[in-house]
Structure 1
Amino acid sequence: MVVQLAAAIVLGGRNLSEAEALQAHHQHLFGPAVPDSTTGRTLAAFDTAVVNGIARTRARVRRHVWSLLNLRPGVSPG
């Protein structure tokens, strides 16, 4: 569920309904879409350690992507 949600966010999903729609559209890659209600319940059940781990990982990935973008000549991110 977390991997599917992350992929949906990368594809442009801005909320759980859009994430579910994107997962359904790309189900040939990910399998059946996880309903937004299931995603919401799963995210709500995460404890502080999991949420903090996701935040750290997200920050690390963002730093890496920004560093790659900064290496490209003529690209001005943002």
Structure 2
Amino acid sequence: MIDYSKTPAHMGDEMRLYIEKGILPRSFLRAVLSNDFVEAVRQADYINTLRIYDWADFLYNQLPVVSWGSEEKMLAY
């Protein structure tokens, strides 16, 4: 079971929609899921900038490996 509380509160719903319904996220989460670090930092708001390590931890420990890591994997998921 994915623990969405590990993400910033304002991001949980968007992540849940991607994982559970396949709805592609907006720019910051797209960059995170595509493993595009520079774009993720560029698109991040203040809270996500502070929590960038938490995002890496969340991806690695919570999400199915087929759902992130490259743009191709994100789009296929």
- TM-score range, shorter-chain basis? 0.3 to 0.5
Q: TM-score, normalised by structure 2?
A: 0.37
Q: TM-score, normalised by structure 1?
A: 0.36
Larger radius of gyration: 1
